[in-house]
Structure 1
Amino acid sequence: MDSKINFNNYTLEELYDSAQSIDRDAYPDRAKEIDELIVKRQNEQPQSEVEDNSKHKVAGEKATRWDRLYAGLIDAVVHMVATVPLFWYFGMEAFKEPSAFTIVIAVIYGLFTTLILQGYLLFHYGQTIGKHIIGTRIENLDGTKADIKKILLLRILPMSLCSFIPGVGQFISGFIDPIFIFGKQRRCLHDYFAKTKVSYVGT
């Protein structure tokens, strides 16, 4: 019978090492205890120290703000390139004061290109291209992988539609949404809508 290990006496560095070396299939309860202790210790640290520990990517741990930013920038570049045909066809002027028809076409086009570019990763892994490169995924609050329907309809679609609201839409989707990441939960506004989080995946 295995003796109980008191991981409470471990330093954060030792917990990181244990999380990476433990056989998670053989000792799932211990692995869970270690992961929970890491999250608890990090929540007790000043945020600057937490960000410094970002090299320790423990499965299930929420992604740091920097890693979410890096992944977001990668995805932004991918989708900027993907929208070139849309702006080329309609012209930039059409989106300064878009008609209902233009909004519908833009939303459909955005969802279609997302499915083409990101669909495989989103469906199988809950990841975008950026998140796949960084090593994170979109999860439900219970730690399970978020399905593609939730990601598209509750994370992506609301912010896409919001961006077309005259006057304040771009401000909400471009500023208010991402600034929520600076809260203690490290979740954007669209995460709260969809009841999701972004966490690291196992290596």
Structure 2
Amino acid sequence: MNDQAPDLQPAPNSPQVDNSASLGQRFAAFMLDGVFMVISMMFLMQYLGMTEFDPNKAQDAQAMQSEILAKVAALSNGQKVLLALFPYISFLVLHGYLLSRYGQTIGKRIMGIAIVTMDNRVPPFFQLIVQRYLIQWLAGRVPMVGGILRLVDILAIFRADKRCIHDHLAGTKVIDLRIPVTQGKPTSIIV
């Protein structure tokens, strides 16, 4: 792996190449990131004592739901706040360094793709977190329509430019680092 931040500026007068990451690459990166988030949540649930359940209730969905709600209700206020904020904290702990340095989450790093500005530079970290991620997180929390907003955001990826709404809001795109920005002389790419 090359530790250079991507600076994929095309040489003057070079023809531009579509280096957009494929839908499959983006989906695989999303799924990998989801696995890492689930693993981190499992550690928190274990810490909070929320992983042990009555085996007799495991067959009954309503009984399991009641038991989970009872365990959440029994948490202290501080633990409830930790439970609510943990996904966001975990995201920043897992992906913060890679996002700030390379414009990548762990999944994007594995898949060889990166988030860049429209001129192929790593976006400033604050811009990336606020305009790309925070907006998604807040939209998802809007009562009754949050899920629809997130779905519309994600489905925008099927347009010709392969950019979700959060990409447009942040002025970013996701590129395949194996595809040079221009035809001809290769540029510096991290993989």
RCO (CA 8 Å, sep 6+): is it higher in 1 or 2?
A: 2
1:178 and 2:154 correspond: yes
Partners in 1 of 2:112 and 2:40 — Cα distance? 23
Distance change >3 Å, CA 106–CA 197, structure 1 → 2: farther
Deviation of 1:81 after TM superposition, in Å, equals 2.1
Partners in 1 of 2:139 and 2:167 — Cα distance? 15
Give aligned-pair identity as a percent: 28
**1:62–1:200 Cα contact (<8 Å) kept:** yes
Partners in 1 of 2:174 and 2:106 — Cα distance? 14
Q: Deviations over 1:51-109 (max 9, x none)?
A: xxxxxxxxxx11111111111111111112223355674976499xxxxx999766643
User: Residue 81 of structure 1 aligns with which residue?
Assistant: 39
1:129 and 2:87 correspond: no
Letter in 1 for 2:33: D
Q: TM-score, normalised by structure 1?
A: 0.61
Partners in 2 of 1:159 and 1:106 — Cα distance? 19
1:141 and 2:122 correspond: no
**Structure whose residues are more often helix by fraction:** 1
Partners in 2 of 1:114 and 1:185 — Cα distance? 27
User: Residue 65 of structure 1 aligns with which residue?
Assistant: 23
Q: Deviations over 1:121-142 (max 9, x none)?
A: 1111110001101111111112
Q: TM-score, normalised by structure 2?
A: 0.65
Letter in 1 for 2:107: G
Letter in 2 for 1:191: D
Distance change >3 Å, CA 132–CA 186, structure 1 → 2: same
User: Residue 28 of structure 1 aligns with which residue?
Assistant: 11
Partners in 1 of 2:22 and 2:80 — Cα distance? 33
The runs of 4+ residues in structure 1 deviating greater than 3 Å are: 27-30, 84-95, 101-108
**1:107–1:161 Cα contact (<8 Å) kept:** no
Instruction: List alignment gaps of at least 5 residues for structure 2.
Output: 1-7, 51-67, 73-77, 178-188
Letter in 1 for 2:140: S
Distance change >3 Å, CA 85–CA 107, structure 1 → 2: same
User: Residue 139 of structure 2 aligns with which residue?
Assistant: 162
1:144 partner SS:
coil
1:190 and 2:170 correspond: no
2:174 partner SS:
strand
Instruction: List alignment gaps of at least 5 residues for structure 1.
Output: 1-23, 40-60, 96-100
Q: Deviations over 1:134-193 (max 9, x none)?
A: 1111111121111221121111111112222111112322x2121110011101121122
